[in-house]
A and B are shown apart, each in its own frame.
Chain A
Amino acid sequence: MPAAKKQGLQTLVFQNPPVIVAAGTVVGGKEAQGPLGKTFDLAIDDPYCGEKSWEHAERRMLEDAAKTALKKAGLGTQGIDFFLAGDLENQILASSFAARSLGIPHLGLFGACSTFYEGLIIGAVLIDGGFAEKVLVAASSHCCTAEKQFRFPTEQGVQRSLAQSWTVTGAGAVILASQGAGPVITHATVGKVIDLGQSDPTNFGAVMAPAAADTIVRHFQDTGRPPEFYDLVVTGDLGIYGRELAQGLIGDHGYRVEGRYTDCGILIYDHDTQDTHAGGSGCACSAVVTGGYLLQQLQAGKLQRFLGVGTGALLNVDSPKQGETIPGIGHGVVIERR
């Protein structure tokens, strides 16, 4: 017997769609100077945020994003049932430390850069399932902690690959509630891990595009909705070249998203002046663009409904060296104006 709230193979349909009652976004200097600069709540220019390490700074940003969301919703930490969060540090430590200081029951998540969307899905499930009234979902990344962990020391003199993306420094948090005013989450499509044999850790767009395309196509098939049903389809951090690849792959499945498909990693930076190469990436990329710009577009009535797809590249520092290919994942969430 199929599950009562599931449609098709991978899509969840929420009976009482959870409401996004508030969002908080914190970004670094480069993001604040980008085209979406004004849509963020807080910008901190100093990569250390006045703390003693980048790791401390990332944790601070995550806490600040969560506190901003709480403040906007007029809630204290006691009013929240669960804190779902993840990041890119080893063993998602930024989230654990933020959870320590917030003191809210915590589930740590890892979906690489798709973590924020993974959190939205699990949060919505907890609420629609009746296990929670209010859930705080957050994710963070920091360009220096990510570079340090996955690539080279930041002051190392290397030429970045042209297809490489720039890890967004920042954190995004949203509060999901069973009732209230704000946009609602109506559907979610949980992605499969997809691997089309890419192995270049400097080109995540090509790595993740097949997973994003698979989830988007699966969503259309499961729901029977055509792409035109959405004002916008937006992936997490595929960047300029990854977006083109994903668009091509979606076309190969017989769906056309041209003209209504973009990517958070393209939106967040100015490609011509900010020297980010392919665009933005990292957990915070989809978190701050969704929590800031996209939700504001819904609230302003410029968008009625969008399909957001958080995308993640699944690797660690050693796996490419051991000859492994890099699989990707994409999680889709439908957010509607109400």
Chain B
Amino acid sequence: MDVDFTKPAGIQRKQYRDFTDQINPKPNVLVNAIWAFVVGGIICTVGQGFLNAFLAAGLPVLESGAMTAVVLIFIAAFLTGLGVFDDIAKYAGAGVIVPITGFANAMVAPAMEARNEGLVLGVGARLFTIAGPVLVFGIVAAWLTGLLYFLFR
């Protein structure tokens, strides 16, 4: 007996939750973590390569960092446009979503979809649907950190 339908609704729900826990497939966390580590590592290595190249070309440290971010954003946006990014992310998961590449993808993907709803109310309005919360809480966290630094330095 998985769920006893003579029991009150609360107990039925609890029994059903236990039943679904038995049946639902479990993700393979280890495999996912290895994929994320390897792909995330590759992206960081590629980024470091660009950084070194910009430094070697004579760009100052700050500008080199910014240029590296620009290049990675371009690559991620380009792969999103080609429809490849989501195929990579299927395996790489957090490895490709957590670095700046994920942020670029989160901006381009909704923009591509919204283009037939117009430039302003479509693309303009939808551009930040995924990235918006990241920005909001990123800015809030930065502001709080700054405040703590100001008070306790």
Q: A residues within 8 Å of B by Cβ?
A: 52-53, 148, 152-163, 196-198, 203, 206, 210, 241, 244-245, 248-249, 251-253
Contact = CB atoms under 8 A, between A and B. Distances in A.
Contacts of A203: 20, 24
Interface in B113-153: 113, 116, 130
A253 B108 CA distance: 50
A162 B26 CA distance: 7
B109 to A, nearest CB: 4
Contacts of B1: 252
B83 interface: yes
B130 A155 contact: no
A155 B97 contact: no
Which of A159, A160, A197 has the most C-beta atoms of chain B within 10 angstroms of its own C-beta? Answer: A159
B116 A156 contact: no
A153 B109 contact: yes
Contacts of B19: 245, 248
Contacts of A160: 90
Nearest to A277: B25
B27 to A, nearest CB: 6
B112 interface: yes
Given A52-B116, A203-B24, A252-B3, A196 B102 contact: no
B16 A157 contact: no
A156 B105 contact: yes
B41 to A, nearest CB: 17
A52 B122 CA distance: 15
Nearest to B32: A159
Contacts of B27: 161-162
Query: Helix, strand, loop or mixed for chain A's interface?
Result: loop
B74 interface: no
5 contacts: A152-B130, A157-B102, A162-B24, A162-B26, A245-B23
Interface of B: 1-5, 12-13, 16-17, 19-20, 23-27, 32, 80, 83, 85-86, 88-90, 93, 96-97, 102, 105-106, 108-110, 112-113, 116, 130
A153 B16 contact: no
A155 B20 CA distance: 30
Given A162-B26, A248-B19, A196 B12 contact: yes
Contacts, number: 91
A318 to B, nearest CB: 14
Contacts of B116: 52-53
B114 to A, nearest CB: 8
A305 B44 CA distance: 60
A253 B6 CA distance: 10
Contact of B85 (A53, A157, A162, A241): A157
Contacts of B5: 252-253
Contacts of A248: 2-3, 19, 23
A53 B113 CA distance: 9
B149 to A, nearest CB: 34
Interface centre among A157, A198, A249 (most CB of B within 10 A): A157
A244 B89 CA distance: 30
B16 A162 contact: no
Contacts of B109: 152-157
A241 B23 contact: yes
Contact of A157 (B12, B23, B32, B96): B96
Nearest to B91: A159
Nearest to B17: A197
Given A162-B27, A252-B2, A196 B16 contact: yes
A241 B13 CA distance: 18
Given A196-B12, A197-B16, A206-B24, A156 B130 contact: yes
B93 A159 contact: yes
Contact of B20 (A52, A159, A162, A206): A206
